[in-house]
Structure 1
Amino acid sequence: MSQNSPRLNLPFLQPSQAQKHVTHNEALRELDLVVQLSLVTMNAATPPAVPSQGDIHALGAAPTAEWAGYGGELAAWLDNAWHFVTPAQGWRAWDQAAGQLKVWDGSAWIDPPLSTQNLPGVGIATTSDSTNRLSVRGPATLLSHDGAGHQLKINKAGAGDTASLLFQSNWTGHAEMGLAGNTGFSIKVSADGSTWNDALAFDPATGVASGTAVQSSADDTTTGRLMRADYGYGPGNLLGTVSESGGTPTGAVIERGSNANGDYVRFADGTQICTVTLSAVDCTNATGALFASAVFTWDFPMGFATSATPAVSGAAGAASRFLGLDAPSGTQASGQVLSAVSDPTQLTPTLVAIGRWV
């Protein structure tokens, strides 16, 4: 029969053994050390100057002084002497300094291994529940990279479900962003947590934006709304071909062009201005009477609306001359150049017509 127990190495009482109480007390002392093991220090290297009866220290790899040569063992101060115990793999001990449980893995005291898979819930400084299975209370939550980028993934089961971030104030929702009931990203806001406005939504196929924060039509001038590119004007569409529908511009703001009949400018509000410079002519009058020395018919470079007669004016090329104009007919106008004095100088008359193209 062995004289010691196989696991804790406790001495057995032997048949016909004298002073059996000594062996029994030695076994009790070993049990007193290792049962409900509580350690004053971990990875200790130097014995304390004034140790207390029953204190146990977990020694580091290279302790000194009276502990030298007992690296990795337990040092217990009993009856004014150090007693050493070799821990076995799996022993558990309470770390008094850290206030937590430790386990001896055969070479070091480590935190007890815990399973982190399929936990029913985790609460950090607060309580988790069946809906909020991960609950965190604190001034901030950090999700950092592992050497490169980092993604926060929110996945939903089906297109009609919701995958979003909800922002609350005193547990009342006021803003939500994500995939709410479809696969298009949207931002919703609410004043009371019950009535929600889709402020901004993006079509997943085209990326085109819509919502109460965006112009709903070309004549929507609601304060604070975002202007749509097809409803607003900028360097890309300020100049071009003007057009309208029901009085609302549908094309550019300004259109400018020219042809053999002169130059023209059209504006999105319906205004049109045509100009021309005629060929140089002279005005002579042998008798001194007023008469037309030349007659020109001007075809406008762009036609005016037939419902409104444009205003036509011009200059004969010099202060000594004046230009007489016939009223325009349809989309054309004719003018007579008249002179009050005999003037053989070749001068170029100019004409301006202002009206509406629509």
Structure 2
Amino acid sequence: MTIFETPRFSLPLLAAGQAHKELFHNDALLLLDFLIHPVVQAVADDPQDLSPAAGQCWLIGPAAVAEWSGKDNQIAGWSDGGWHFIKPQETMKIMVIESKQSALYHDGNWRLIPAIDVPAGGAIVDIEARSTIDSILNALRITAILPQIP
């Protein structure tokens, strides 16, 4: 980190007497746009296989190539100016659209949070308990603690 970056996400800071401040300011806003509600399309290794639209992001996989080479586990966001990269922070959470799952960054790796199935079957069925469990799971999905299952 240099003196002109934020400590966590390396967002560019302005300096006194700095030329072209609007470029640094706009770059910081663009990165914040990707970070405020982090959603990625999917996990990918090769940006050449994609047709990104401005504002879309991907989670860079472990075998990254081309301009993503060396950026494994980072979030790549596309803008009209090209790719922007975000280094994840411990306990950072994102939504992965393709798999309809959340992912959590922990100990240097992204981990997909598995879906929890509603209770079904069994020799003895307790309707009230199942109704309560369903309500709890629904509340966790609404707050995006658990992924929404279609």
TM-score, shorter chain, exceeding 0.5: yes
Larger Rg over CA atoms: 1
Query: Which letter maps to 1:85?
Result: I
Match of 2:3 in 1: 2
Deviation at residue 28 of structure 1 after TM alignment: 0.7
TM-score (normalised: structure 1): 0.31
Separation (CA, whole Å) in 2 of partners of 1:131 and 1:12: 52
Separation (CA, whole Å) in 1 of partners of 2:63 and 2:77: 17
Q: Using a 3 Å threshold, how does the CA distance of structure 1 residues 65 and 132 change in structure 2: closer, same or farther?
A: closer
Separation (CA, whole Å) in 1 of partners of 2:93 and 2:99: 14
Q: Give 1 or 2: higher strand fraction.
A: 1
Question: CA contact under 8 A between 1:92 and 1:102: conserved in structure 2?
Answer: yes
1:137-286 to structure 2, matched below 5 A, reads none
Does residue 1:67 correspond to 2:62, yes or no?
no
Q: Deviations over 1:195-225 (max 9, x none)?
A: xxxxxxxxxxxxxxxxxxxxxxxxxxxxxxx
Question: CA contact under 8 A between 1:37 and 1:92: conserved in structure 2?
Answer: yes
1:292-307 to structure 2, matched below 5 A, reads none
1:86-105 to structure 2, matched below 5 A, reads 86-105=87-106
Match of 2:34 in 1: 33
Does residue 1:129 correspond to 2:128, yes or no?
yes
Query: Which letter maps to 2:128?
Result: D
Greater length-normalized contact order (CA 8 Å, ≥ 6 residues apart) = 2
Q: Using a 3 Å threshold, how does the CA distance of structure 1 residues 80 and 20 change in structure 2: closer, same or farther?
A: closer
Unaligned runs of 5+ in 2: 121-125, 135-150
Output the aligned Cα RMSD.
3.2
Q: Deviations over 1:94-146 (max 9, x none)?
A: 11012122111143221459xxxxxxxx9526x963598778xxxxxxxxxxx
Aligned length: 126
Query: Which letter maps to 1:100?
Result: Q
Query: Which letter maps to 2:95?
Result: W
Separation (CA, whole Å) in 2 of partners of 1:131 and 1:33: 38
- After the TM superposition, list the runs of 4 or more consecutive aligned residues in structure 1 that deviate by more than 6 angstroms: 131-135
Question: CA contact under 8 A between 2:74 and 2:86: conserved in structure 1?
Answer: yes
Match of 1:24 in 2: 25
Identity of aligned residues (%): 28
